[in-house]
Structure formats: structure tokens, C-alpha cells
Amino acid sequence: MHYPPEPFRIKVTEPIRLIPPEEREAKLIEAGYNVFALKAEDIFIDLLTDSGTGAMSQEQWAAIMRGDESYAGARSFQRLKAAVEDIFGFKYFVPTHQGRAAENILSACLVQPPGKNPAGTGNQWVPSNMHFDTTDANIRARGGRPANLVIDEAHDPANPHPFKGNMDIAKLKAFIAQYGREQIPFGMITVTNNAGGGQPVSMANLKAVAEVYHKHGIPFFIDAARYAENCFFIKQRESGYEHVSVKEIAREMFALADGMCMSAKKDAIVNIGGLLCVNDEKLFADIKNELILREGFPTYGGLAGRDLDAMATGLYEGLDEDYLVYRLNQTLYLATRLNEAGIPTIQPTGGHAVYVVASEILPHIPNYEFPAQSLAVELYREGGVRGCEIGSVMFACLDPETNIWHYPRLELLRLAIPRRTYTQSHMDYVADTLAKIKSRASDLRGYEFTYAPELLRHFTARFEPLQQVTHEHLGLVQK
């Protein structure tokens, strides 16, 4: 695997520094062994997220200078409106400060708690292929229950299925039959599937999902944070789309849905921003009222005008196919280097990140002792590299009805690659660092919570390292 040449030149640099090992250890203790709590200045290579961390282009910086800071009806909003209508095709939209704000507003408008929903009793459910963390939490925060109905192949890291983000249509039909339309206020699908390895969803599957939702009168929403990468995978892997532009694929994708929510900090390559788009006029009126209450006026949605202009430009840059070739191949390069070192990753490689299968590197650490968290801590300890745990810290949850803990089937360390930010030498350094860790993986131990909030605990939890592998259940019941 050869490293792809960057389709850009670097005009501005930011210094980074590898602090000494003893300082890294002190920083981990100070952070409660939660890499989210580390200071950016103490990170050498930061692969925690690809959200709002990419480098903006000269055109985006020029757009920022054009930004109109009017409270209502700004020119910046009109430019964003034109881009959103051109690319996505929905009738109505509002900007938000980021994707979770769009999820919050959507859930506030559609999800009703038990006793107040049309079914009268019980929770409302929102099915998807796999909900990511903030989507999951926003549904739960409104009294709803998220459900993940991804195909079984998604849970097999080595399975080469080209569209492991697909929804299992049989599971979806059975789910709707079990709970009924009244208990499903809307349905979703995430493109690409972040919680399952950044895996794409095929157009054929999107059409099948849309057909099932619409047959039952269920509004269909797409979580579109990485829609451009998903569209490029369709172009690469799905028959009949080889000669279709990514933008045309995007229009076909969104024409299937009733709306979308999007963190623009991903495929619009901006530092901050999000979108919530719908076709239903009544729902749009509710969304505007909620937006004004929580975010801001509908023509700025919690953002400055310059941010709207940067987003309008970035939406088109994210669709550039030369950039997408580079983007996907940079990710593939890192995965290939890791695989050559015997480090297992989710196959095939996704678009925005490499997902290391922590449970295979650390089979002696059970899921309730958080193997992916252990690997994330060790990656910083060894090389000053920050990654993100995608496993039982993030997704294990207690069923309030049965009091049973449910654990995710995958324990992953996500190495999210910021857009247009790092070079080949940085990727080589990350691969070499993980190879060193693998050589002494049996020495690593698990972690336990010293503090954890009920929702989104991975952001602020604190941990202590276990001194030995306990192989005890710590009083929890698994399923």
C-alpha cells in the first residue's frame, strides 16, 4: 500500500510536541485515565476525533471573511441555503451549532416519554443500523429507546462484506411488527456507520429501508455526518454507480429520506456547525420553535455568519472526488501498516478512521474491565497518541426494566483521522507505536470507574487501573 499524494499544499502549520514519558504518565493520572480529559497541548498526534479538527481550505478562510453577522436574514445564510438545497434537496432546513444539537431538536420534537406517547404506555423506540453516542443519548434523554438493527456481518471484524453498515431488513420488519407504528416516532440510518467501523451503507439497502419505513408511515431520517464518504464507497463498490458523480449519488440518497441531521464538522470540513433538514412543513415549524428556544434564530442557529459561509464552501469541498480518493486511501494506508504488524482492524477499512479490534489484542481483559479503554490509555502512554474507545465504556448500558447490563459486541479503539491534517510520517509513527504495544500486550490490565455519569459517560468518566486481571463480574450481570 503506497501512501496517496495529498491533493493540496500546506500553507499554515501548527507546532506539536512529544512530551517525555514521565510527563505523559502524570498527565494520565491527572486526567483520571480518560484521554478526553487530556490537554491538547500534551498530545503529539491527536486521533480522538475527526469532528471539527480538520484543516480548512483557502476558499473556506476567504468565505469566513465574507461572513455576514446580521442577526436575521444574513447573506451567509442565503449562501448556505443554496448549497444545502443543491446538494441535499430537502424543502426546509435550519443550521445548528453541531450535530448533537440537531439530534436534540429532532428528538425533542418527535420522541415522547412513556405515558405521553400515542401508545399510552411503554417507551418509544427509534431503530437504526447503529446509533452513535450522542444520537443514542439524545433519544434516551427524551424517554425513548434506541435500537440497533445492523446486519450480522457488522459484528465480525474480519468479514469483507463491502457494505457492513447495512440495516438488516428482516430485523427491521420484525421490530416494527413487535412494537407497532405508534411506538416508533421515526427511524434512522447512519452513513457511514461510525459505531461499527466507519462502514458504508449501500444504495440498495437505503432504498429497502426507506420502503419499509414509508410502508408503515414512519418518517425516515439519515444521520449524514459522513455522507460524502459513504457516497464515494457506493461509487467504488456498488454496481451501476461507477460512472455516477458523488454529488448525484448524494441527491439520490437523500431523495429517499424525509429528513436528515448532520454534524458539518465531518464531511463539510468545518470547525463547528450542523444541519437539520426536513420535508414536512408542520415538523419544520416545531423545529424552528425549538431551535429559537435552544440554539438561536433560524437563519443562524447558534453560529456566526462566517461559520455558515465556511460550511457552504466545505459542503462542496467534501464532495471533491480527488480529495475523497486521497481521504480513503490515507485511512487504508494506516490500516495496512497496522495489519502488517499483526494488529487486527475492522475489515474492510472505513472512510474516516481505522478501528483496532482491542478485544483481540487484549483477550485477557473482559469487556467489563474495558479493553479498548486500556489500549487507548497505553497508546498515549507509549507515544503521546490519543485515540477513542468505542466499546463498553461508550455503549454498555443498564436496561431499566430488567436491571441487566448490555455490552456491545465490539471492543474497538478508533483512530479517527482529521481531514487534511496529518502526513505519512504521522501515520507511520502511529503504526510503529501500536506495534510496540502489541509486543507486550499481555502486560496490560483493565480499568474500573471511579466516576461515571448516566449518559455519555465516556466524555467525563474517571478511572483507576486494576492491578490484576480479576475475571470477576464486579457485581454486574452481562448479556
Contact 319, 228 (CB under 8 A): yes
Find out whether 60 and 273 touch, Cβ atoms under 8 Å. no
User: Using omega within 30 degrees of 0 as the cis cutoff, is the peptide bond preceding 192 cis?
Assistant: yes
Given a contact cutoff of 8 angstroms between Cβ atoms, the answer to whether 416 and 353 are in contact is yes
Q: Is 364 a catalytic residue?
A: no
Q: Is 225 among the residues known to form the active site?
A: yes
Q: Enumerate residues 6+ apart whose C-beta is below 8 A from 161.
A: 151, 153, 154
State phi, psi for 47 to the nearest 5 degrees.
-115, 30
**223 is known as an active-site residue:** yes
E runs forming strands in 108-198: 125-128, 145-148, 187-190
Q: Is the dihedral of CA 334, 365, 359, 395 positive or negative?
A: negative
State the catalytic residue, choosing from 44, 77, 132, 213.
132
284 is catalytic: no
Active-site position among 97, 164, 265, 266:
266
Task: Point out the catalytic residue in the list 307, 458, 461, 463.
Answer: 458
Asked about 133 being catalytic, the answer comes back as yes
Residue where the block lists cell 434564530: 297
Contact 383, 429 (CB under 8 A): yes
Based on the number of CB atoms within 10 Å of its own CB, is 341 exposed (0-12), middle (13-18) or buried (19 or more)? Answer: middle
- Radius of gyration in angstroms for the set of CA atoms belonging to the chain, rounded to a whole number: 22
458 is catalytic: yes
Length, in residues, of the chain: 479
Return the DSSP state at 196. Answer: G
Amino acid occupying residue 121: T
Looking at 42, 46, 50, 133, which residue is catalytic? Answer: 133
Q: Under a CB-based contact definition with an 8 Å cutoff, are residues 262 and 227 in contact?
A: yes
Cell of 317: 469541498
Residue-wise over 365-378: b if at least 16 C-beta within 10 A, else e?
Answer: bbbbbbbbbbbbbb
> Can 164 be counted among the known catalytic residues?
no
Other beta carbons within 10 Å of 157: 19
Which one from 74, 108, 137, 225 is the annotated catalytic residue? 225
The catalytic residue among 42, 223, 267, 309 is 223
Q: How far apart are alpha carbons 219 and 240 in whole angstroms?
A: 28
**Given 8, 26, 40, 71, which residue is catalytic?**
71
| Active-site residue list | 71, 132-133, 223, 225, 266, 458
